[in-house]
Amino acid sequence: MKNSILILFMSAFAWTACDAQTQDTTKKENTSEMEQFEIAKSEEEWKNELTDEQYYILRQKGTERAFTGKYWDHKEDGSYACAGCGTVIFTSNEKYDSHCGWPSFTKPAEKGLVVEKLDRSHGMTRTEILCATCGGHLGHVFNDGPMPLGTRYCINSGALEFENDSTNNSNPK
């Protein structure tokens, strides 16, 4: 019995040490990855330019609570830009109600606007979405969206700024 407990304890310790080493490597990869984006600013610059919520989401990879963001149920025609750099990432044409509590899109407005990255935080394996211009955390993409693409880009409202479509703003969905 004592041997079983000892083996269990040592296995847990080895797993924790391995997980800590993986997290350190990930942080190093994140640092070099952030340097490759077109817009690179210091943390102090980001803090001065973003609201507290935007900084938490875009720079600290935070998330807002479901059904609380300003765009989860937003139905106007227009574009959704990265709140960090202003790059248009999504359009209302691709927005749909996934009933998840966050703005959901079937795809970005154009290829190359987002960077996908493996995310193993919070005991889950997901695909994180970053703005390809500034590296801001936008949300995650899942393979449970509507066909034909089957993708659901689940995005934090706090990572977005809406730009009204001036050519068709009198026709809300």
CATH number for region 41-164: 2.170.150.20
- CA 161-162-166 angle, 5° bins: 145
Is 131 noted as a catalytic residue in this protein?
no
Q: 46-89, pLDDT tens digit by residue?
A: 999 999 999 999 999 999 999 999 999 999 999 999 999 999 99
- Terminal Cα distance for the chain, rounded: 65
In the structure, what pLDDT confidence band is assigned to residue 129 with cuts at 50, 70 and 90? Answer: very high
Other Cβ atoms closer than 10 A to 98: 19
Please tell me whether the overall predicted TM-score, pTM, comes out greater than 0.95 for this model.
Answer: no
SS3 160: strand
Among the options 85, 131, 134, 154, which is catalytic? 154
- Structure tokens, 156: 């934090």
Question: Domain map of the chain by residue range?
Answer: 1-36, 41-164
Q: 134-150, pLDDT tens digit by residue?
A: 999 999 999 999 999 99
Backbone φ, ψ for residue 10 (5° rounding):
-65, -35
